Amino acid sequence: MTNLPSATEKKLGLAIDLDTCVGCHACVISCKEWNTSNYGAPLSDVDAYGASPVGTFLNRVHTFEIKADNRPAQTLHFPKSCLHCEDAPCVTVCPTGASYKRTQDGIVLVNEDDCMGCGLCAWACPYGAREMDAEAGIMKKCTLCVDRIYNENIPEEDRVPSCVRTCPAGARHFGDFADPDSNVSRLSAERGGVELMAAQKTRPVNRYLPPRPKADVTGDGQIDIPNPFLEAKNQTAKGFLGWLDKALEKI
């Protein structure tokens, strides 16, 4: 199973909108919460109340700062989970066949019954999307909530990943990138969705929608809005009252 399917029927994945993500970590915890008691072994927390707690998470949010000349520095929240790559190196390196990419929908999964916990797949993933669970000794990764998205025991509208359902800002979108008309394909096309580390040739399915250009300016004199609206009609209070008197007539 470590061979990759030459093509998958669907390419399910996430479009993550960095223009909207406020970095609240809701997706991080919701993911942990869903996955710890669903697919496979629980996501453990070692030294949970101690000096150096280390837990398994399938989705984490980094915060970066971007500095360019002549504009104030910018903060960027950056959630990261498995990108369900088309050429997933994590799959081909796996010696046991535990890692595989589903032919139906392209989801990359670890079949925990087969995993021997060698960690090689985590080495092969450029994005840090795989974490070995210290308690179970088994490789964990984002399942794209495969046990939610088709789950007939939950209402149809809830058949989306836990992180998508919970995101308060609506920054996470789930859909089929193989379908050019899907919500995610359209969003990605409109907003110039990017691949991460394209040079790694992993062909990630997930797309990141870059932040829209900021309106910030530091330099003075850059008034880009129709300023006639601020044309000073009334330099003094007296003048103002005169204007007011006239304006009131019109009401």
User: Interface with other proteins includes 157 (CB under 8 A)?
Assistant: yes
What distances in angstroms separate CA 45 from CA 48, 134, 136, 197, 204, one per listed residue?
5, 8, 11, 30, 29
Site for other proteins in 38-57 (CB under 8 A): 38, 41-57
Site for ligand SF4 in 174-213 (CB under 6 A): 202, 204
Scored b (16 or more CB within 10 A) or e, 183-207 reads ebbebbeebebebbeeebebebbbb
The distance of closest approach from Cβ of residue 23 to other proteins in the complex, given in angstroms and rounded to an integer, is 6
The distance of closest approach from Cβ of residue 206 to other proteins in the complex, given in angstroms and rounded to an integer, is 10
What distances in angstroms separate CA 35 from CA 11, 32, 175, 186, one per listed residue?
21, 5, 20, 29
DSSP string of 129-148, one letter each residue: -EEEETTTTEEEE--TTHHH
Q: Among other proteins, ligand SF4, none, what does residue 191 contact (CB within 5–8 Å per kind)?
A: none
- Identify residue 194 by its one-letter amino acid code: V
Among 79, 106, 175, 193, binds ligand SF4 (CB under 6 A): 79
Count of residues that interact with other proteins, criterion CB under 8 A: 157
Q: How many CB atoms lie within 10 A of CB 21?
A: 22
Q: Among other proteins, ligand SF4, none, what does residue 172 contact (CB within 5–8 Å per kind)?
A: ligand SF4
Q: How many CB atoms lie within 10 A of CB 42?
A: 15
Q: Is 25 exposed, middle or buried (0-12, 13-18, 19+ CB in 10 A)?
A: middle
Q: Among ligand SF4, other proteins, none, what does residue 187 contact (CB within 5–8 Å per kind)?
A: none
The distance of closest approach from Cβ of residue 33 to ligand SF4 in the complex, given in angstroms and rounded to an integer, is 9
Residue pointed to by tokens 């040739």: 201
Among 4, 107, 109, 115, binds ligand SF4 (CB under 6 A): 115
Site for other proteins in 59-118 (CB under 8 A): 60-69, 71-78, 80, 89, 91-98, 100, 102-103, 109, 111, 113-118
Site for other proteins in 7-36 (CB under 8 A): 17-26, 28-30, 32-34, 36
Contact 119, 141 (CB under 8 A): no
- Identify residue 217 by its one-letter amino acid code: V
Among 56, 162, 182, 185, binds ligand SF4 (CB under 6 A): 162
Among 9, 179, 180, 214, binds other proteins (CB under 8 A): 214
Among 8, 56, 143, 185, binds ligand SF4 (CB under 6 A): 143
Among 1, 5, 19, 24, binds ligand SF4 (CB under 6 A): 24
The distance of closest approach from Cβ of residue 177 to ligand SF4 in the complex, given in angstroms and rounded to an integer, is 14
Q: Which residue's CB is nearer to other proteins, number 92 or number 186?
A: 92
Residue 85 CB partners (closer than 8 Å, separation 6+): 108, 202, 203, 204, 205
